[in-house]
Amino acid sequence: MDPLEIARWQFGITTVYHFVMVPLTLGLGLLVALMQTMWVRTGNERWLRMTKFWGKLYLINFIMGVATGLVQEFQFGMAWSEYSRFVGDVFGAPLAMEGLLAFFFESTFLGLWIFGWDRLPKKLHLATLWTAVLGSVVSAFFIIVANSWMQHPVGVEMVDGRPVMNDVWAVLTNNTALVAYSHTLAGAVAVGAAFLIGVSWYQLWQRRRDNIDTVDDSGAVVVGERADIPGRDRVDHAVWLSSLRIGAVVAAVAFGGVAATGDLQGKLMFDQQPLKMAAAEAACHDGTSFSVLAVGPLGAQDCDQVTNVIEIPGLLSFLAHGDFDTEVKGVNTLIPQYEAAYGTHLPEDPMYGERAGQKIDYLPLMEVTYWGFRLMIGFGMLAAGFAALTLWLTRKGTVPASKPLMWVAVASILAPFGANIAGWVFTEMGRQPFVVVPNPNPSGVDGVYMYTAAAVSPGVSGEEILFSLITLGLIYAVLLVVETRLLVRYVRGGVASAMPELAHHEDDPAHPEGMTGRRDDVLAFAY
């Protein structure tokens, strides 16, 4: 039982699961803050309802993100102690900044926002939300800085075999970090926007199903009301239609940002990690063609076994260099260069344990990198296309009555999630066999790299890591069930689930407290 392989699976599972929460928190938080801003500026009840409903879902996801993030920390200390020692001097500053922002700005000001309804002045209350949300945005930057240093080491010098930071500004302004951060943030906004589309579509479809809203002969919506269903009034229709169309517009803009920043990120990867990109294109030989479809035996790592079925001449060169005729180095050219620069076998060093002296396979898993890259692009295009379709189909004020189309809309929420996850799997798997990637050009610091085989904790057995993997997997499974149940419950309940006061009137004898009865229950909105 190889501890390294189990540790890698553990890292992948915990990281991917945690990252499911992160983009929704970032994207939805920004949208909720904009909604409350519009409420403060206009006083329109529609914006208040939107703020409280989407704010509740944002809080649920935020709490789960914190929980999964804390769980993830345990596997670093247990499974990757050598890696932690190697990068500790570099990661100390950005992660300390991230911790300050995460636990002070985010948690403190989000608490003030939760408890501040009807207690703080409107503008001050709004400021607490913006502070929390911007804290999350800045917090994400420092995480990206740390990850980007692993992809492109800068701002350090080697002292006694370990990198020591000598230029924090170089680390914070790493070109890899700046591009990756803008790409990640655009992707997060796209996730939040797709969430708005799917949930709002479902709510509008519910109104159609319950015959609250109908359409006239021209197909235009005729907005209705149901006094017997809490919150199902005309304002409710405005809430969902506004949320839907805001989500569609924001999604279209966000995916444009994803495409632009993704192009910049791809060009950097061709420069900084050429073998990763060659594997992602199944480019065994030097050339300029982009592979649309390649086939080969399952698990094939031999280029002679991989056949490009559909290619677009010149496109690979454009993605890498911005022109159509500059040759891009293929796997067969790059691997000998890597072997000449970094050796053909792992060093005979006790830190590698049983893996000492083993031959190094510099080629990442082509199946993972190839299809990960295409799934990232494919899911993104599907989400962007559905956002455009949404704008067209809802131009007359409601959604079609089709139930299958409603389920397609709900399922579309998963598309940007899939794009984000595929992108991160491609990024992390594609840098193997390195956990800290060496710089192949002068833009970084030469001689700074670490094999993944050297990063795993030397004193931990495969059985121990397997036990922790199973334990963390069970914890994550429980958290997944809890979050899913909470989200489904409040989504099905609509705005009334976040604002129970909509279920009764001020003169209702069963609820004499009326619209203000919840003010003493300050946790009601949070949970």
**What is the residue-level pLDDT of the chain in tens, covering all 527 positions?**
678 888 888 888 888 888 888 899 999 999 999 999 999 999 999 999 999 999 999 999 888 887 777 777 777 777 888 888 888 888 887 877 777 777 677 888 988 999 888 899 999 999 999 999 998 898 889 889 988 999 999 999 988 888 999 888 999 999 999 999 999 999 999 999 999 999 999 999 999 999 998 888 888 888 888 888 888 889 999 999 999 999 999 999 999 999 999 989 888 888 888 888 888 887 888 777 777 777 766 666 666 667 776 778 877 887 787 778 888 888 888 899 888 888 888 888 877 777 888 888 888 888 888 888 889 989 999 999 999 999 999 999 999 999 999 999 999 999 999 998 888 888 888 888 999 999 877 667 778 888 988 888 887 887 888 888 888 888 888 888 888 888 899 999 889 888 877 765 544 444 444 334 444 444 454 44
What is the rounded distance in angstroms from the CA atom of residue 240 to the CA atom of residue 328?
48
Tokens matching residue 315: 């496109």
What's the pLDDT at 39?
95
- Find, among 322, 334, 282, the residue nearest to 304 by Cα: 282
What's the pLDDT at 416?
92
What's the pLDDT at 99?
75
What is the rounded distance in angstroms from the CA atom of residue 527 to the CA atom of residue 516?
18
Q: What is the pTM of this model?
A: 0.89
Look at the block and give the residue holding tokens 């804390």: 70
What's the pLDDT at 10?
83
If one counts every other C-beta atom within 10 angstroms of the C-beta of residue 102, the result is 21
Is residue 364 within 8 Å of residue 429, measured between CB atoms? yes
What is the rounded distance in angstroms from the CA atom of residue 496 to the CA atom of residue 489?
11
Is residue 428 within 8 Å of residue 151, measured between CB atoms? no
Tokens matching residue 455: 């990063």
Tokens matching residue 371: 């299809």
Tell me, what amino acid is at 227? A
What's the pLDDT at 311?
75
Is residue 286 within 8 Å of residue 328, measured between CB atoms? yes
- Find, among 1, 5, 2, 3, the residue nearest to 432 by Cα: 5
Query: C-alpha angle with apex 446: 276 to 169, nearest 5 degrees?
Result: 95
